[in-house]
Amino acid sequence: MKVLILGGTQFVGRHITEAALEKGHEVTLFNRGQTNQELFPYVEKLTGDRSSNLESLKGKDWDVVIDTSGYLPGVVVETASLLKDTVEQYIFISSVSAYDQFQEAYIDETHPVGKLEDESVQEVNGETYGPLKALCEQTIENIMPNRTLNIRPGLVVGPHDPTDRFTYWVMRFARGGEVLVPGEEKRPVQWIDVRDLAKWTIEMAEKRETGTYNAVGYDEEVTMKDFVNKLIQVSPEAEDKWVSDQCLLENNVQPWTELPLWIPKSDEHPHGFFLVSNKKAREKGLTFRSITQTIEDTRKWFISRDNTDMKDGIGIEPSKEASVIQKCGK
């Protein structure tokens, strides 16, 4: 296939590019030319800005476009309108955050999406991100009806993850000692290895699939205890210390940032995390590598990268972690 990737050099797009090239497809990258331009030296690269300059996309055609960088419907509409007559299929990398709430466990693709009072909003933040993704999906489908594939991943993890949310846990256990672990041991968690997401995205493109699919792991439910056990297998020098939601909140521990993968149980999130069904995607061939493999590969990548500091704001300070464990740990 001739594949156009909008983005393609940072994380999800980078791995989708690699997956497409591994299958022998002809890839073109369109981006601003500002990130990791040394990657893929033999791939056609078109420079532009999808919010203001699409000139380099004109006069060309592809079998499929994979959009890894669409966040605002007003920007997405320009790209989709330009490409509707020159590509056969539009694949949009969306998010499970598009759903309106997560009070039920394992919601599927028929669940309602979030709505915005002002659909012209331009600010992407924690409240608008998901509904804007849903609007982008609708915008593309309106322009290219029955030729659109919406893929909704949850937390995407693995090598080159710029968020360091999953990476925090891998490297914290690697450091050893007493590790503060949030919430209940049986609390379910979900993510997807970026390489599994990328491989399946290309497979779906090859089959010209359309519709909407949740892309999260695994074949069976994974609990935080399952995850911690895998981390300890890789880093046996660590010891898990579990602390309740209540005690963490009483000690001003910040969910999702100081302790990634943790959302306290509440009326809005009764399971303490986002949970969606992956049944539809698995029926279309989505498969998963082992959790241990993802942990080991993430650790190797982190050690090899130039900057081995966690992203600002991610991870609890060691002194605060020790203090909370002393007060609350079991």
pLDDT (0 to 100) of residue 330: 62
Burial of 206 from C-beta contacts in 10 A (0-12 / 13-18 / 19+): middle
Q: What are phi and psi of 93, to 5 degrees?
A: -85, 105
Distance CA(171)–CA(235), nearest Å, equals 9
pLDDT (0 to 100) of residue 98: 97
Eight-class DSSP state of 276: B
Instruction: Return residue ranges of the chain for CATH 3.40.50.720.
Output: 2-153
Note the maximum CA span of the chain: 65
Neighbour tally for 318: CB within 10 Å:
12
pLDDT along the chain (330 residues), means of 10: 94 97 98 91 95 94 96 94 96 97 94 90 88 96 97 97 97 97 96 98 98 97 97 97 96 96 92 94 98 98 91 95 89
CATH architecture of 2-153: 3-Layer(aba) Sandwich (3.40)
Class at the top of the CATH hierarchy for domain 165-190+220-273+290-328: alpha beta
Tokens of residue 202, six digits: 């290309």
Distance CA(204)–CA(20), nearest Å, equals 11
Distance CA(60)–CA(71), nearest Å, equals 24
Instruction: Return residue ranges of the chain for CATH 3.90.25.
Output: 165-190+220-273+290-328
Describe the strand order of the beta sheet including 44-47 as a list of residue ranges: 44-47, 26-31, 2-6, 62-67, 87-93, 148-153, 211-215
Facing residues of 47 across strands? 31
Distance CA(329)–CA(244), nearest Å, equals 8
pTM over 0.75: yes
Distance CA(93)–CA(150), nearest Å, equals 6
**Cβ contact 231:295 at 8 Å:** yes
Distance CA(251)–CA(5), nearest Å, equals 45
Distance CA(86)–CA(71), nearest Å, equals 22
Amino acid 317 reads: E
